[in-house]
Structure 1
Amino acid sequence: MKEIYEAQFVENLFDKMSSSYSKMNCITSFGFSERWRRQCVNEINIEKGKTVVDLMTGMGECWKPILKYSDTKSKLIGLDFSSEMIHHAEKRKEKFKNSSISILKENVFNNSIKSETADYVISGFGLKTFNDKQLKDLAIEINRILKPDGQFSLIDVSVPKNKLLKFFFMFYLKRVIPLIGKLFLGNPETYKMLGIYTQKYKNSKNLYHIFKEANFKIEYIEYFFGCATGIKGIKRH
């Protein structure tokens, strides 16, 4: 299933899901998605007057906790390649009129962000759509755009280690979510992909090892018994 990691496939998938993605994301995470995003942002110490890059920004769901630490000199750059997600992000931007927000419709691996201009990089729930090679490229890209001593925090839904919890979680993702997707979109196959991506991703341990090989000081993090996992780190000099 190599094609599920191709940019065009992923872009089309999120374009289709965009109208109901916010609700579905909440449902697929048992209502924890907003809390996990907030925790992901709070893993790093965002200072005022700095530049934050939100990769795979989606609809800008991470913006509220990010902008909590902003002032008139702060900058937020949201990047995503899904036209429909960007459309919703543009609408969300209107809620933060006093903040400096730039939205880029670009692929994370081919973007216009200048090297060593970001103080912080955030990404919430976009990792599972990458294969190992793409995760390695992501590490290279985050290293490129971060300033020395810049910090990052990344998170995604994961398969918990507890066998009982794992059974119910995967049943929920693979069976229940497609049914809910059918109610929202009339198409269970679209949301079925979330379960497929999550099962293949497993957790962020592979991500941890990939980033450990790069120029970062990093830490592995589990949320709610491993139902979400992530890494945070600092770019070394």
Structure 2
Amino acid sequence: MKDIYNQKFIEELFNKMSGSYERVNYITSFGFSERWRRQCVKSIEIKKNDTVLDLMTGMGECWKPILNTIGVNGKLIGLDFSEGMLNMAHKRRSKYPNYQIKLLKENVFKNTIQNNSIDSVISGFGLKTFSDKQLHDFSDEVNRVLKTNGSFSFIEVSVPKNKLLKFFYLNYVRFFIPILGFLFLGNPETYKMLGVYTSKFNNAERVKEIFEKKGFNVEYINYFYGCATGIKGQKN
């Protein structure tokens, strides 16, 4: 049986989806994914000239609200281990020639970011690919790179608690999204994995518990009746 949390497996999965991921994500969330990313970024106080780290940056979908806040003298670091996703991010970077954007092809758990060097950490829709142990490691890494009083905000697609909404939502991610995978890639199994990860992730309550145990100030956030959840907080 394949280990769905194996980093190499996930890297290859997102490499395959990189050419169509943004469109599928937008379609399957009915456009909410873009709004949720914006809300995720704006939920914390990022300041002008700050250094912001966007973990699992993907194609850079969270960048616009970050760059609008930090300005041309701020610094945005986008980190991802998927070459396919980063190729798309490099194309997006060309739209912001006056901004300081550094892209790193590195693993979240083993990277070159210096200790206590980051003002804010953002992550949009990457947490679901982590096992429980990896979430603990992730919290350690966020703690390592953040400055004292530095902030973070993460968002992830989730399973709603309302029984009726949950029924329709789970069937939607399990059956409709793979159909889009077939239409875009000719392979329903690739996008089917997004439903698998979402079902196993459930919501960000466990993430909140882990970050609280590590000493962070943490707040749990519901987006659109729990179809997405997240946490935001601060390093003490």
Question: Fold match, TM over 0.5?
Answer: yes
Computed over aligned residues only, the root mean square deviation of the Cα atoms, in angstroms, reads: 0.8
Q: For residues 220 and 214 of structure 1, what CA distance do their matches in structure 2 show?
A: 15
Name 2:13's counterpart in structure 1.
Answer: 13
What is the one-letter code of the residue matched to 1:230?
G
Q: Does the alignment pair 1:145 with 2:160?
A: no
Name 1:233's counterpart in structure 2.
Answer: 233
Q: TM-score, normalised by structure 1?
A: 0.98
Unaligned runs of 5+ in 1: none
Once the two structures are TM-superposed, the CA of residue 2 in structure 1 deviates from its matched residue by 6.1
Provide, for residues 63-99 of structure 1, a one-character-per-residue CA deviation record: whole Å limited to 9, x for no partner: 0011110223200000000000010000000001110
What is the one-letter code of the residue matched to 1:30?
F
Provide, for residues 95-153 of structure 1, a one-character-per-residue CA deviation record: whole Å limited to 9, x for no partner: 01110000000000000000000000000000000000000000000000000000000
Q: For residues 154 and 163 of structure 2, what CA distance do their matches in structure 1 show?
A: 25
What is the one-letter code of the residue matched to 1:168?
F
Q: Does the alignment pair 1:112 with 2:134?
A: no
**Displaced runs of 4+ in structure 1, greater than 6 A?**
none
Name 2:48's counterpart in structure 1.
Answer: 48
What is the one-letter code of the residue matched to 2:152?
F
SS at match of 2:200: helix
User: Could you tell me the percent identity over the aligned residues?
Assistant: 62
Q: For residues 95 and 70 of structure 1, what CA distance do their matches in structure 2 show?
A: 16
SS at match of 1:226: coil
Once the two structures are TM-superposed, the CA of residue 180 in structure 1 deviates from its matched residue by 1.2
Name 2:203's counterpart in structure 1.
Answer: 203
Name 2:220's counterpart in structure 1.
Answer: 220
Number of matched pairs: 236
Q: How does 1:81-96 map to 2 (within 5 A)?
A: 81-96=81-96
SS at match of 1:92: helix
Name 2:135's counterpart in structure 1.
Answer: 135
Provide, for residues 6-51 of structure 1, a one-character-per-residue CA deviation record: whole Å limited to 9, x for no partner: 0000000000000000011112222200000000000001100110
Q: How does 1:156-167 map to 2 (within 5 A)?
A: 156-167=156-167
What is the one-letter code of the residue matched to 2:124?
G
Q: TM-score, normalised by structure 2?
A: 0.99
